[in-house]
Structure 1
């Protein structure tokens, strides 16, 4: 019987991951940047230009969205720490996507590296 950790380790052996310093160029050249975290995580902060598609809905959203149907698109994925993104990258590869990259360490590593993020503005109570 496999654990979630086992599945992530196996997934990471099958995908391409880039550390944030290298991922920044991949993000700039990507056709699609996908945040596969949950909606509340995305709302709290995300990479500029990222589309939110939670990991649980990924295959369904990709199949139902014509703009995401092209399998040769450059796709960059991330989640909080890279586990869900690794599983998502494998799913995309199995769906026929040929240019998929995951950000090693996910959103947390991106933020720790001082890379740009979009965060909601706090309301002013003047």
Structure 2
């Protein structure tokens, strides 16, 4: 029986991971930056300009959103450390997307390197 680690390792062998050093360029060149973490993780902080679609809903949201349906979109994905993003990238390749990259090390590596983060502001209830 395969473990989650086995599935991530297999996915990483088939996808393109972009290094942290090359991430800013890849993100600038991308048509869409996707955060595939859960909603609470996204709300706690995310990469500026990221669109949130949790890993569990990814295929459904892409299929149901005309602006994201073009298979030649340049897509960069990330999650917390890279596992979910690798699985998501593999799913996008399986769906026929051509230009898919996953951020190696994910959000944690981005934040640890001191790159900018976005945090939604909450309304004041004074």
Distance, in Å, in 2 between the alignment partners of 1:108 and 1:19 is 13
CA distance 1:102–1:124, change in 2 (3 Å) = same
2:61 maps to 61
1:32 maps to 32
Unaligned residue ranges in structure 2 (runs of 5+): none
Displacement of 1:16 in angstroms is 0.5
2:43 maps to 43
2:115 maps to 115
Distance, in Å, in 2 between the alignment partners of 1:62 and 1:109 is 26
TM-score, with structure 2 as normaliser: 0.95
Distance, in Å, in 1 between the alignment partners of 2:51 and 2:124 is 27
Distance, in Å, in 1 between the alignment partners of 2:77 and 2:125 is 36
Deviations 1:97-118 (A, max 9, x none): 0000000000000011111110
CA RMSD of aligned residues (A): 1.5
SS of match in other structure, 2:67 = helix
1:11 maps to 11
Distance, in Å, in 2 between the alignment partners of 1:120 and 1:64 is 25
Distance, in Å, in 1 between the alignment partners of 2:89 and 2:26 is 15
Unaligned residue ranges in structure 1 (runs of 5+): none
TM-score, with structure 1 as normaliser: 0.95
SS of match in other structure, 2:96 = coil
